[in-house]
Amino acid sequence: MKPERFMWLVVMPIIAVAAVIALILTGTVGRDSDEETEGEASWTFLVYMMGDTNLEPYALDDLTEMASVGSSGELNIVAMVDRSPDYSSDGVLDLDDWEDTKLLEVQQDEFVELADLGELNTGDPDTLATFVETAVTEYPADNYALLLWDHGGGWLGMGADETDGEDPLGLDEIAAGIDAGLAETGVDKLDMIGFDACLMATYEVVSTLAPYADYMVASEEVEPGHGWNYQQLALIEQQPQTDAPALASAMLDGYSEQAVEEGTDSDITLGILDLAGVDELQAAMSDVAEAYIDDPGAYTPELASAQQDVLEFGRDPDPADSMYQIDLGGFLANLAESGDGELAARATEAMDALDAMVVEHVAGPATAASTGLSIYFPPLQSYFYDDYLALQGVPTWPATLAEFFTSGALLDESSRAVFDDDAMLEASFGEDGLSVFVPLEEGTDESVVEASVAVGFEREGDSVYVLEMPAELVDEDGRVGIQADYDLTYMLIGDGEDEHLVYQSVGIDPGTGHTVIDIPLDYVAPGDDPDEFEDALLSIVLDDDGTILEEDLFARDASGTLGGFEPDPDGLFFPVALVSTADGEWVYERTGEVGIWSDFENLEYILETIEPGTELMLDVSVRDYAGTGDYAVFSVEAE
């Protein structure tokens, strides 16, 4: 979600860390015995807020939302909140600023400080376990919801506690923390687990966490900075018998409504997942995998084709930083529609299992093709993280991807994607700009997993690439090749004083045709050395007419997880573009030396049209599932 979110600095050599945390919590927290015998609430809402990151300002907003409802006879809101020394010095309601970790009971318009815990590492599963145990034990209720709040990265887990060695909370650690915490409480499982974090609605996450909760609420895509709307917790006070699906549905409504109010609704996703259906989905996915692995020679091209033209989440202009989480429903639909025999039939069954598991789902116009759950599928082995193979609790899919890449390595040379050496780029100019087509060698198109066209021109002595866009496989008069259209514009970003060229990575939503443009930036905080920067990503959503529907800013932390980002307006943005060096390498370089003010609300977007007569460089590339492919550079004169 938000800008990305993540030991303890006090050394106590005799008592183990987990034991010390437990002593602190159980020794300073809790109601007296009379209070405990007064009866249980309907819900206890546990908030594990990993705010020791650049998301800290959003944490204060969300805590304020929770306090607008507050605890009552029917609702306990208990939060463990880790803050940072770096991003905000603001207090929240009746609490002054703090830089370590506090355990809070959220009351209406105020907080009761249950314990000052010192600096805790929220990336340590023992910290999560002790929080779960303490909150459930001290605040008994009929129902329990655990909300994990921070940057998210799907199968990579969450956050990175910045003051504790950038330690993330891995997916297996989340499971271990919940398991250990519940083991001491007599509670078998949570009624709901929620992720106010980016990219956590994945096959890997539900597979790992299904034993620990009945329902899960999470987003396939990156979340806007404001995240969930916790004013929706008022439903419990109004209707004490609210069950998990109803509470989750209220959270979806609040999230969607707040996104509309904030103008961040274009590419949102959030869904309710019935974790009782995970076993059936896993079995169906195992059947898909079995059909594939029984005959990878026949089916590898189908998997390669099916993962194309599917909504992808957590995209980045730099392929090394993309998350490669694709919409599972879209992928299975492609397999079912264009696949063959047993594989197609089993993909249909897996689609049915997924549909049954997704209770409710909201999406914006640019993510309308999403179905509620994504899955990890990098198109090339060079993009694949080997750590994925070590995931616990995720059946079938790691082995399936391993087989996919093994089959790719065995792909016959004659089937690997290459351009037709006897054919040239076919370029035509019209009212809508430039259209290009490059034919492939006959019979090589079935192995294609990605294709793109990058556009550049000479600028101040360098070859600068201003845009990369996806290309399609098309059949033109019996010849299969790569086709793309370019409107002959490029973009600059300004602050009213300076303006700099940007690099645009263009994606198209397969459901609506809406365009998503991702622009890489370096962000330098006020007073910092220009060489000390944070990787930022500006995402712009356009409708079919080219109207800007939404602008969002995201950042990536050291663990690779993503989140919304709110820069200091007195900081600086340095747009970054791909530049071709003298030896032919592509490198990302800043396009201006002075930067522009990072006053996000007042950025200016300037579209310029390529002047007629400008020589355009068109770098056309195609890759196959063997990890090989072809690359060609053409030049055309703009008309």
pLDDT digits (tens, 9 = 90+) for 41-98: 999 999 999 999 889 999 999 999 999 999 999 999 999 999 999 888 999 999 999 9
CB atoms under 10 Å from CB of 60, counted, come to 20
| Average pLDDT of the segment spanning 590-603 | 92
Cα separation, 53 vs 82, whole angstroms: 9
CA 334 to chain CA centroid, Å, is 22
Distances (CA, A) of 622 to 48, 404, 533, 586: 44, 18, 33, 17
Three-class secondary structure of residue 500 per DSSP: strand
Residue 32: its H or E element: none
CA distances from 11 to 99, 122, 438, 507, 581 (A): 17, 16, 64, 49, 50
Could you tell me whether strands 158-161 and 75-82 are parallel, antiparallel, or unpaired per DSSP bridges? unpaired
Which regions of the chain carry the CATH code 3.40.50.11970?
17-28+42-275
Between 90-94, 162-166, 535-539, the lowest mean confidence (pLDDT) is in 162-166
Helix (H/G/I), strand (E/B), else coil: 335: helix
pLDDT for res 517:
92
Q: How confident is the model at residue 39 (pLDDT cuts 50, 70, 90)?
A: low
Tokens read off for 377: 């599928």
Q: What is the mean pLDDT of residues 487-498?
A: 93
Over range 484-501, report the average pLDDT: 93
Nearest to 17 by CA among 136, 135, 119, 159: 119
pLDDT score, position 557: 74
Beta carbons within 8 Å of 289's beta carbon, 6+ residues apart: 396, 397, 399, 400
Cα separation values, 480 from 307, 444, 629, Å = 19, 9, 15
**178 CB contacts (<8 Å, ≥6 apart)?**
128, 129, 132, 146, 190, 193, 209, 212, 213
Q: Which of 170-179, 246-255, 306-315, 557-566 has the lowest mean pLDDT?
A: 557-566
Q: Where residue 316 falls among pLDDT bands split at 50, 70, 90?
A: confident
**CA angle, residues 502, 503, 507, in degrees to nearest 5:** 130
Instruction: Tell me how far apart the alpha carbons of residues 251 and 268 are, in angstroms, rounded to a whole number.
Output: 14
Q: What pLDDT is stored for residue 513 in this prediction?
A: 76
Look-up of token digits 């699906």: 245
Contacts of 39 (CB under 8 A, 6+ apart): none
**Rg of the Cα trace of the chain?**
25
Above 80 in pLDDT, residue 331? yes
Tokens linked to 631: 């690359």
List of residues 6+ apart from 497 with CB closer than 8 A = 596, 597
At 458 the pLDDT is: 87
Highest averaged pLDDT of the listed ranges 226-230, 309-313, 363-367:
226-230
CATH architecture of 17-28+42-275: 3-Layer(aba) Sandwich (3.40)
pTM, rounded to two decimals: 0.87
pLDDT of res. 375: 98
Overall average pLDDT of the 346-355 stretch: 97
Buried b (16+ CB within 10 A) or exposed e, 528-556: eeeeebbbbbbbbbbbeeeeebbbbbbbb
Distance of CA 42 to the CA centre of its chain: 33
Statement: residue 463 has pLDDT above 50: yes
Tell me, what's the pLDDT at 159? 84
pLDDT of residue 283: 97
3-state percent breakdown (helix, strand, coil) of the chain, nearest 5: 30, 35, 35
Q: What is the mean pLDDT of the chain?
A: 89
CA-CA distances (angstroms) from residue 255 to 283, 306, 349, 552?
Answer: 32, 31, 31, 16
Identify the pLDDT of residue 199. 96
